[in-house]
Structure 1
Amino acid sequence: MNSAPGPHVERRRRHTLYFLEWAASQRPVHLDTEVDMTRVQAHRAAARVQGTRYSVVSYLLHATGRALARHPAANAVMAPGWPSPLRRPRVMRFGSVTAKLALDRTVDGERTVLSALLPGLEDASLAEIQRNVDRYRGQEAAQLPEFKGVRMLGRLPVPLGRAAFAAVLRDPCRRPAVFGTVSVSSLGHSDVDGFHSAGGTAVTLCAGRILDRPVVRDGRIEPAPVMRLGLTFDHRVIDGATAADVLSDLRHSMEDFDDGSREGVPGPDLRGADHDHRTARGLEQSPT
Structure 2
Amino acid sequence: MTPAVTAERRRRHTLYFLEWAAAQRPVHLDTDIDMSRVLAHRAAARADGRRYSVVSYLLYATGRVLARHPGANAAMAPGWPGRLRRPRTVRFDGVTAKLALDRPVEGERTVLSALLPGLETATLAEIQERVDRYRGEQAADLPEFKGVRMLSRLPVPVGRAAFGTALRDPRRRAAAFGTVSVSSLGHRVVDGFHSSGGTAVTLCAGRVVDRPVVRDGAVVPAPVMRLGLTFDHRVIDGAAAADVLTDLHDTMEAFHEGADGTGPDPRGADRDPRPLRGLGQGTR
Q: TM-score, normalised by structure 1?
A: 0.90
User: What's the CA shift string for 1:158-207, capped at 9, x where partnerless?
Assistant: 00000000110122221211000000000000110000000111000000
Residue identity in the other structure for 1:74 = A
- Alignment CA distance shift 1:264-1:51 (3 Å): farther
1:281 corresponds to 2:239: no
- Alignment CA distance shift 1:69-1:110 (3 Å): same
Alignment of 1:13-28 (within 5 A): 13-28=11-26
Alignment of 1:67-106 (within 5 A): 67-106=65-104
User: What's the CA shift string for 1:8-46, capped at 9, x where partnerless?
Assistant: 452111000000000000000000000000000000100
Match of 2:155 among 149, 154, 157: 157
Distance 2:173 2:183 in 1: 19
Distance 1:274 1:77 in 2: 33
| Unaligned stretches of 5+ residues in structure 2 | 264-269, 279-284
1:54 corresponds to 2:58: no
Instruction: Give 1:86 deviation, angstroms.
Output: 2.7
The answer for the alignment partner of 1:225 in structure 2 is 223
SS of the counterpart of 2:256?
Answer: coil
Distance 1:263 1:138 in 2: 26
Instruction: Give 1:280 deviation, angstroms.
Output: 4.6
Distance 1:169 1:254 in 2: 32
Distance 2:183 2:107 in 1: 22
Distance 1:236 1:192 in 2: 29
| Unaligned stretches of 5+ residues in structure 1 | 266-272, 283-288
Q: What percentage of residue pairs aligned between the two structures are identical?
A: 75
Distance 2:217 2:58 in 1: 29
- Alignment CA distance shift 1:191-1:155 (3 Å): same
Query: Quick check: 1:218–1:280 contact (8 Å CA) kept in 2?
Result: no
Distance 2:206 2:81 in 1: 33
Distance 1:93 1:275 in 2: 34
Query: Quick check: 2:253–2:271 contact (8 Å CA) kept in 1?
Result: no
Query: Quick check: 1:43–1:260 contact (8 Å CA) kept in 2?
Result: no
Distance 1:213 1:119 in 2: 34
1:108 corresponds to 2:103: no
Deviates more, 1:255-264 or 1:190-199: 255-264
Match of 1:117 among 115, 118, 122: 115
The answer for the alignment partner of 1:179 in structure 2 is 177
Count how many residue pairs are aligned between Structure 1 and Structure 2.
270
Match of 2:257 among 253, 256, 259: 259
Q: TM-score, normalised by structure 2?
A: 0.91
User: What's the CA shift string for 1:126-181, capped at 9, x where partnerless?
Assistant: 00000000001122210111000000000001000000001101222212110000
The answer for the alignment partner of 2:38 in structure 1 is 40
Query: Quick check: 2:124–2:260 contact (8 Å CA) kept in 1?
Result: no
Distance 2:202 2:117 in 1: 16
Residue identity in the other structure for 2:130 = N
User: What's the CA shift string for 1:53-82, capped at 9, x where partnerless?
Assistant: 100000000000000000000001111221
User: What's the CA shift string for 1:242-284, capped at 9, x where partnerless?
Assistant: 000000000000000013575579xxxxxxx96434x2538xx
Distance 1:12 1:280 in 2: 43
Alignment of 1:111-150 (within 5 A): 111-150=109-148
Distance 1:280 1:163 in 2: 49
Distance 1:99 1:186 in 2: 13
Distance 2:158 2:271 in 1: 56
- Alignment CA distance shift 1:10-1:40 (3 Å): same
Distance 2:160 2:276 in 1: 51
* Consecutive aligned runs of 4 or more in structure 1 exceeding 6 Å deviation: none
